[in-house]
Amino acid sequence: MTRYLLGLRPVLWLGVACALCQAQAAPGAQPQAVPLPAPAPDAVLNSLVKGHPRLLVSKADLARLKDRVASEEPFQRWHAGLRERAARVLREAPSTYEIPDGLRLLATSRRVLQRVYTLALLHHLDGDPRYRERAWRELEAAAGFKDWNPRHFLDTAEMTHALAIGYDWLHGEWTEAQRGLLRAAMVEKGLKLAVRIHQDNRGWSRSRHNWNQVCNGGIAMGALALADVEPELAGRFLSAAVGSIQRAMVEYGPDGAWAEGPGYWSYATTYNVVFLAALQTALGTDFGLCTLPGFSEAGTFPIHASGPSGLSFNYADAHAGTIRAPVMFWLARQFQRPEFAQHQRGVAGGEPLDLAWYDASLATKPAPAPPLDKYYRHAEVAVMRGAWDDANAWFVGFKAGDNKANHSHLDLGSFVLEAHGVRWGVDLGADNYNLPAYFGNRRWTYYRLRAEGHNTLVLNPDTAPDQDPAAAAPIIKFASSPARAAAVADLTAAYVRHAQRVRRGIALLDRRQVLVQDEVRAKQPATLWWFFHTSARIGIDAGGATATLTQNGSAVSARILAPAGARFVAMNAEPLPESPHPPRQGSNDRCRKLAIQLKDVTDLRLAVAFAPAGPGRGAAAPPLIPLDAW
């Protein structure tokens, strides 16, 4: 799947209907913010900019951009890429109404959105009439759809966004009849429906996850595009949206992370920024929303959650591809954070909003290196690395958090591991959202979503589910020094049926060795499994206490330091015999798992160390001390 997020080629697995869409409970520091007053419906448009374009860019912005693409890098390269994409679109038919899974029009909405952004921007940069004409064919087709699938309102919001950009950025190119067609579609198929949802105080208007930002952000684009001709409707929506979106924005607090994972950080933050940026360009104000605690730090999250390989720490319903988010350029400008711009320049795919928001003065301005280690409170995620300037550095991402968080898996205590430019410990990511009851009562039967499908512990696997779906686990210790970083999570709530206490500590020692230490006190003698999923080839020595992982010409060793007598086994990445076996779920054939099984566990310390492998590369076994003393 492609992984570009707004400017615009978003992944198709983001933001689908979810029975788990509920307010996220905080296991750590609960975000706190005094609600900002929402402007009254009849006052919200008092400062409306007259004329078009006024969404995200102005006429002057587009003129400056036209000059820059003629002579500056990376604009020239990005411009060439947009032309190549547009050449393909010119040969393709307009989008049609397609709901292939019986639920979502989302792929179509996003295709229209991507095409309209690309064609509209190129019209301003190049003046080629083919771009305008092809954009109209796309807009006209979408406006003529019977609806924009409001039962899955993300589809409606993204399609409203698409028509708003086409209406606003190309406003002067359309006849009054053409503008009227786009206006009527946005009003009847988008804005009126969204206003009713706000009036009823239901659904996404009350949520604290990505649906809130996407639906408020997408519909707000339509409201601001039409604000001069539909002031009453636009005012009602925008007044409600300014109040509603705060429910989701508070979840960035206090440190900028996102409980739905880095992939959904990109989706949610993209639409959050689109909402704020459009308010600023159309009204000259964001009504103080940028001051909400934690939002100014949001740009740190994709930086720290990306390993040296460029892969992300893909917990929850996510895949591990590189996060390319043009909103990083906007966040860099808004909060004067050059490190955000520098990160995005290194991964940018040249999307339309990359061009619109890139600021060379920030992207080239010296910035201090971020800390090697970071603990994100509330999301309860810790990341540790050996260096920022070494593609071979060691990296570990460790997750505690809340099993009730939107799109969560039963993954408390799980981690990913990188070294030598290779991801050794992997998160399998999401399964197919169209599996039966994937977001319903069968969710915890799917392997990739269960604890046994993650790099964590399972106690007594014959009981299901294998972690408590209502559990929240805080990180109770975090420390960072030049030679060592460590985090300890209290996982007791996840295993409360079987254990009086479960804790996991992960330490990055000498910046080149990782220690994973578990302490378990069971209520009754229990069977315990320890799992580590990997794409590497697994070799286990004759004694069973050491395993060598090999991949891409590199090797890492895993050693059991405690308890004596524990042994590794290599297993397929599939359910245990006593676990649920749904007839349909994704194949994990590209991975296996390193496992440890211990029986009759009552009071246990289990410790595994990962270190470089090969002659002269071994590291001395670290001393074991109780987690309370870490």
Inter-residue contact 301 to 48 (CB < 8 Å) = no
User: Is residue 6 scored above 70 in pLDDT?
Assistant: no
Question: Who contacts 372 (Cβ-Cβ below 8 Å, separation ≥6)?
Answer: 384, 385, 386, 387, 388, 480, 485, 511
Average pLDDT over residues 203-225: 98
Domain ranges of the chain: 59-363, 373-614
Give tens-digit pLDDT for 596-629.
999 999 999 999 999 999 766 667 888 999 999 9
**Predicted structure pTM score:** 0.95
Q: What's the order of all strands across the beta sheet hosting 422-425? A: 373-376, 381-385, 395-399, 415-419, 422-425
Inter-residue contact 268 to 5 (CB < 8 Å) = no
Exposed e or buried b per residue across 139-174, where buried means at least 16 C-beta atoms within 10 angstroms of its C-beta? bebbbebebbbbebbbbbbbbbbbbbbbbbbbbebb
pLDDT band at 630 (very low <50, low <70, confident <90, very high): very high
Q: Which pLDDT belongs to residue 34?
A: 76
User: Is residue 14 scored above 80 in pLDDT?
Assistant: no
User: Is residue 16 scored above 70 in pLDDT?
Assistant: no
User: Is residue 10 scored above 60 in pLDDT?
Assistant: no
Give tens-digit pLDDT for 268-316.
999 999 999 999 999 999 999 999 999 999 999 999 999 999 999 999 9
Q: What is the C-alpha to C-alpha distance for residues 274 and 334, in angstroms, rounded to an integer?
A: 13
Give tens-digit pLDDT for 80-122.
999 999 999 999 999 999 999 999 999 999 999 999 999 999 9
Q: Among residues of the chain, what percentage have pLDDT more than 70?
A: 94
CA 561 vs CA 157, 379, 390, 567, 607: distances in Å:
53, 30, 29, 10, 5
Same CATH fold assignment for domains 59-363 and 373-614: no
For the chain, the distance separating the N- and C-terminal CA atoms, rounded to the nearest angstrom, is: 41
User: Is residue 209 scored above 90 in pLDDT?
Assistant: yes
Q: What is the C-alpha to C-alpha distance for residues 514 and 211, in angstroms, rounded to an integer?
A: 37
Average pLDDT over residues 416-435: 97
Q: What is the C-alpha to C-alpha distance for residues 47 and 55, in angstroms, rounded to an integer?
A: 14
Q: What is the C-alpha to C-alpha distance for residues 411 and 399, in angstroms, rounded to an integer?
A: 7
**DSSP count for the chain of H helices, then E strands:** 15, 17
Which residue(s) pair with 494 in the sheet? none
User: Is residue 2 scored above 80 in pLDDT?
Assistant: no
Q: Which pLDDT belongs to residue 152?
A: 98
> Domain 59-363: which topology?
Glycosyltransferase (1.50.10)
User: Is residue 5 scored above 50 in pLDDT?
Assistant: no
Q: For residue 91, what is the enclosing H or E element?
A: helix 75-91
The per-residue pLDDT of the chain, averaged, comes to: 94
Inter-residue contact 244 to 208 (CB < 8 Å) = no
The residue length of the chain stands at 630
Give tens-digit pLDDT for 145-190.
999 999 999 999 999 999 999 999 999 999 999 999 999 999 999 9
User: Is residue 8 scored above 80 in pLDDT?
Assistant: no
Q: Among residues of the chain, what percentage have pLDDT more than 90?
A: 92
User: Is residue 494 scored above 50 in pLDDT?
Assistant: yes
CATH class of domain segment(s) 373-614: mainly beta
Q: What is the C-alpha to C-alpha distance for residues 449 and 49, in angstroms, rounded to an integer?
A: 48
pLDDT band at 589 (very low <50, low <70, confident <90, very high): very high
